[in-house]
Amino acid sequence: MITVTPDAAAKIMESARLTDSEGMPLRIAVTRMEDGSFHYAMGFDETRDNDKTFRSEGIEIVVAPPSAELLNGTVVDYVELEGNKEIIFINPNDPARQSEA
């Protein structure tokens, strides 16, 4: 399951309005790089066969099967980091997050 915080949901909805993507699901993907780190991507996209679907804070989320297990338990948030506001992925499966513990 993927959870979106209220702040992230507001930013995602604003982004959908600005890009004429209202009503489209948000696709989230993760790729495990050669060094084991995770690379995240997201954008508005159509639902495809075999996609896993989630809904959180009014946001429909679609995930392709290869990313689903790696994203399980992820929280999508919108926070201020070093003076800039940005979307972040808090993923318990991400090796970078595990090394912070």
Q: Which one, of 99, 53, 93, lies nearest residue 75 by Cα?
A: 93
pLDDT value, residue 82:
86
Backbone φ/ψ region at 3: left (φ over 0), alpha (ψ -120 to 50), beta: beta
CB atoms within 10 A of CB 63: 23
Q: Which CATH number fits domain 3-100: 2.60.120.260, 2.60.15.10, 2.60.300.12, 3.40.718.10?
A: 2.60.300.12
From first to last of its 101 residues, the chain has per-residue pLDDT tens of 999 999 999 999 999 999 999 999 999 999 999 999 999 999 999 999 999 999 999 999 999 999 999 999 999 999 988 889 999 999 999 988 765 55
CA distance 7 to 95: 25
| In the chain, domain spans | 3-100
pLDDT of residue 91: 96
Q: Positive or negative CA dihedral for 34, 88, 8, 21? A: negative
